[in-house]
Amino acid sequence: MNIQFDEIQGIITQKYKSSPRGRDCTFIPLTEKWGLKLFNHKETRDLSYDRQKKCLEIGLAPEIGDKIDLPDDQYGYITEIVWCFPNIDTINDENRYLETHSISELDELKDEIEKFQDSFEENGLVEIIKNIYDLTGWNFYDDHVFNWGKKDGKWIPIDFG
Ligand SMILES: Nc1ncnc2c1ncn2[C@@H]1O[C@H](COP(=O)(O)OP(=O)(O)OP(=O)(O)O)[C@@H](O)[C@H]1O
Ligand SMILES: [Mg+2]
C-alpha cells in the first residue's frame, strides 16, 4: 500500500469519529482496499496482529500490512478491507447508520443479521472456529456477527482481539 505516514494521520483525524469501533479497536478505512486497525495499547495491537498473521497463513484472515506506531499512544496495523455487516451493535452505531440509510434499510439489515445468526452452523462457522483452534491454538470465542467478514465467498474472522 502506497500511503505516507503523515497522510495516514490526516485520514485518522478526518475519519476517527465516523469509523466503526469495538471495545478495543477503531477501524479506519484508508483506501478502497486497505484499512487501519487502531488500538490504545501496544500489547493488544501486537496480540491481534500475531493472531491475524497465523490465521492468514491458513487462509482464514484478511491480508495484513505494516504495524504503525502513532503519537498519543495509538498503535495500529494495516489490514485488508473485507465485506462485513455494517456495525449496528449499539444505539449510537444504529443512529449513525440511520444518518445515511432509511428505516426500512435498517430493518432489512436486521433481518439479514438474524438470518446469519440462524444459519451459523449451517454456514460452517463452527467448523471454521474449530479449524482455527486446531491449526493456530487461538480460540475465536468472540464470534459475534460483527466479528465476521466475507472474502472470496468465504466467511473469515476479522476481529483477532
Ligand atoms: N478487515 C476489516 N474489514 C472491514 N471492516 C473491518 C475490518 N476489521 C474491522 N472492521 C470493522 O471495524 C469494527 C471493529 O473492529 P474489531 O471488531 O476488530 O474491533 P474490536 O474492538 O476488537 O471489537 P469487539 O467489540 O468485538 O471486541 C468491526 O466490527 C468491523 O465493522
Ligand atoms: Mg469486534
Per-residue pLDDT of 84-113, as tens digits, reads: 999 999 998 899 999 999 999 999 999 999
Mutate to test the pocket of ligand 1, among 146, 148, 154, 156 (most ligand atoms within 8 A of CB): 146
From the number of C-beta atoms within 10 Å of its C-beta (0-12, 13-18, 19+), residue 4 rates as exposed
pLDDT tens, residue by residue, 141-158 = 999 999 999 999 999 999
pTM of the model: 0.94
pLDDT at residue number 3 = 78
pLDDT value of residue 21 = 86
Please, what are the domains in the chain? 1-81 (3.30.200), 84-156 (no CATH)
Q: Which ligand is the nearest neighbour of the Cα of 39? A: 1
2 alpha carbon to ligand 2 midpoint, in Å? 27
